[in-house]
Amino acid sequence: MFKFNDYNHFRNYSFKIMRNRSVKITNSIVQTFIEFEKVEKILIELRQAGTIDYTISPLDSIVKRLINKEFEETLCDMNDLVEIVESMIKGERNIYFLYCSFNQILRMDIFFQEKFILQSFNDRMSTNFYPCRIKCIEMKKEVDEIFPLESVSIESALVGSPGIYFIYDENEEIAYIGKGITCVTTRAFQSVEARRLYSFSKVEVYCTQTKADAHMYEPYYITLNRPYLNKEFVSDEPTNMLPELSVTKVFSRATCNKPFTFSYLFARCKVLDVEDAMKRMDDNLFIDNKDTKEKLREKGLWGKYDGKHTAYKEYVKKVRKLGFTTIGDLEEQIRAIKKLKL
């Protein structure tokens, strides 16, 4: 963040940046910077009046863009913002338009002060500064599932081994057959994820001695079993019979294929008409501002990933206490063994 003594200091510093980049300071450029002082003044006035607040100064944002050599674009945007501010002062545009423009153009993260919104709601017709729309933070609740395995351990011999895997659905029918070249177990559970076969009854792993064997056995077993999720080889007929592979490992789903469910909260941004927002303001809807964001982040509720991750960790502890393993636990075992091998 830059520190400027006054607006002249900012303007001279900006000219210095441009001169150092061999940009000629024309009368047009000088006039753009003279006019832009109106923008800084109105934002300061609105901030001091408790109408808006922002995390990044418009002057800081301009200087950063000039340092990045965005000269022509920055000057055009400065002129546009001057026009927007002037039209707002005349009452031709709502302050919400200014709010959106500065956030979009200068990434200032402007937000309306909650105190101003709440105090001015009943008197909103008497001021040009009251927004027509407002950015809110809404708490959303979702439910997800953990699909456990019977407690299993992965042998080090399986990690790094090529091979074939069979994924059986909840009806114990073969849903998919695939191969893994670097680690067949990892590849098998990547397929579970990719094909959303979370309700599988079991996964059978057949290790092969070489990668070439895995390439050969995959189409062979597909032509014999015709799994309904495979696209290739299902219409072929085998012309040669290969020796049967022995099952190396079976991973069975726990609790008769019923998943454990867990719920979690997360925050998401939403733009609403002010009328609608004020009616819904409660524990699940907040005005978007810095303080609210910080409080939600402290609780681990900022964003879907954070909310889900926090709840997931707690629920996995319960699943483990019941003696089950999750697919995530299995992948952790594989990673740990790979590190030991290195």
Based on the fold, state whether residues 58 and 123 are members of the same structural domain: yes
Nearest to 328 by CA among 144, 69, 124: 144
- pLDDT value, residue 89: 85
Based on the fold, state whether residues 103 and 173 are members of the same structural domain: no
Q: Is the pLDDT of residue 116 over 90?
A: no
Residue 81, CA atoms < 13 Å, CB-side half-sphere: 31
In this prediction, residue 1 has a pLDDT band, given cuts at 50, 70 and 90, of low
- pLDDT value, residue 75: 95
Domain holding 307, by residue range, is 259-341
Based on the fold, state whether residues 116 and 62 are members of the same structural domain: yes
Residue 138: inside a domain: no
Residues contacting residue 276 through CB under 8 Å, at least 6 positions apart: none
Q: Is the pLDDT of residue 137 over 60?
A: yes
Mean pLDDT computed over every residue of the chain = 89
Cα 67 from Cα 78, distance rounded (Å): 15
For 120-143, what is the mean pLDDT? Answer: 79
For 315-337, what is the mean pLDDT? Answer: 87
| Cα dihedral 152, 307, 107, 276 sign | positive
Q: Which domain CATH number covers 181?
A: 3.40.1440.10
Cα 245 from Cα 226, distance rounded (Å): 17
Cα 342 from Cα 330, distance rounded (Å): 19
| pLDDT tens figures, 211-235 | 999 999 999 999 999 999 999 988 8
| pLDDT tens figures, 19-60 | 999 999 999 999 999 999 999 999 999 999 888 898 889 999
Considering 222, 254, 286, which residue would you say is the last residue of a domain? 254
| pLDDT tens figures, 234-282 | 888 877 889 999 999 999 987 666 788 899 999 998 899 988 888 888 8
Q: Tell me how many domains the chain contains.
A: 3
Structure token digits, residue 227: 């799994």
- pLDDT value, residue 24: 92
Nearest to 312 by CA among 297, 295, 329: 329
Q: Is the pLDDT of residue 128 over 90?
A: no
Q: Is the pLDDT of residue 322 over 90?
A: no
Residue 335: inside a domain: yes
| pLDDT tens figures, 82-109 | 999 999 888 888 888 888 899 899 988 8
Nearest to 10 by CA among 52, 49, 39, 51: 39
22 dihedral zone (left: phi>0; alpha: psi -120 to 50; beta): left
- pLDDT value, residue 92: 83
- The separation between CA 73 and the C-alpha centre of its own chain, rounded to angstroms, equals 29
Q: Is the pLDDT of residue 163 over 90?
A: yes
For 296-316, what is the mean pLDDT? Answer: 87
β partners of residue 273: 133
Question: How many angstroms separate the first and last alpha carbons of the chain?
Answer: 44
Considering 99, 131, 163, which residue would you say is the last residue of a domain? 131
Residue 52: inside a domain: yes
For 154-158, what is the mean pLDDT? Answer: 87
Structure token digits, residue 307: 């909310």
Rg (CA), the chain: 31
- pLDDT value, residue 331: 85
